[in-house]
A and B are shown apart, each in its own frame.
Chain A
Amino acid sequence: ELKVEQNPLFLSMQEGKNYTIYCNYSTTSDRLYWYRQDPGKSLESLFVLLSNGAVKQEGRLMASLDTKARLSTLHITAAVHDLSATYFCAVDANFGNEKLTFGTGTRLTIIP
């Protein structure tokens, strides 16, 4: 059974600081996704990572994938309040199957 773990589950950080969210998964996968969810809202797709060493960046967020370590990171640079949200990673363990397993999410709060 595929397990996806995110750390930390809760993160409170000051504006302007940098931090990293970690996503570990238990079986081989070559596709990993990051999503953002604002309170009471739906999920918004942030990044799709398709291969070992993949790195994607959008504004203050950067995601990377290490398939050998079964680890993805979401790095936040110089955090701003607008980034407060819950972030999920999700893993597709079977290529072409599309079955996604989500992590439990990281609730990020940026304090002014």
Chain B
Amino acid sequence: EAQVTQNPRYLITVTGKKLTVTCSQNMNHEYMSWYRQDPGLGLRQIYYSMNVEVTDKGDVPEGYKVSRKEKRNFPLILESPSPNQTSLYFCASRLVHGGGTDTQYFGPGTRLTVL
């Protein structure tokens, strides 16, 4: 089954404790992206990757890091989480960048609470 998986699905942590949210897709997609969703703000793009070793900032990259060492994985790293990073996070992937009618697949989401 074609899917995007995220782990963990729920996480409660404390300020300053480094964490990683994993994202993996089994569709051989080139493009992957991370979003955060906050009430009243919709979804905002954090980082995206056009292919292996190619990443770029979205609209709200501060406080986050990503890496794309393999095509299927795109982890989101919070080196020193703060309470304002409490949010619902989605990973997404897409087959072809730059055109076409391909759809974007979203993972199930990770609800993060930083105390």
Contacts and interface: CB of A to CB of B under 8 A. Distances in A.
A103 B109 CA distance: 19
B48 A99 contact: yes
Interface stretch (B15-23, B69-77, B78-86, B92-100): B92-100
26 contacts: A41-B109, A42-B109, A43-B90, A43-B92, A44-B106, A45-B103, A45-B104, A45-B105, A45-B106, A48-B102, A48-B103, A50-B101, A90-B43, A95-B98, A96-B98, A96-B99, A98-B33, A98-B50, A98-B98, A99-B45, A99-B56, A99-B58, A99-B59, A102-B42, A102-B44, A102-B45
Interface residues of A, number: 21
Contacts, number: 57
A61 B106 CA distance: 21
B78 to A, nearest CB: 21
A104 interface: yes
Interface of B: 31, 33, 35, 40-45, 48, 50, 56, 58-59, 90, 92, 94, 97-99, 101-109
A76 interface: no
A33 B104 contact: yes
Given A99-B58, A103-B42, A104-B42, A42 B103 contact: no
Nearest to A6: B42
A101 interface: yes
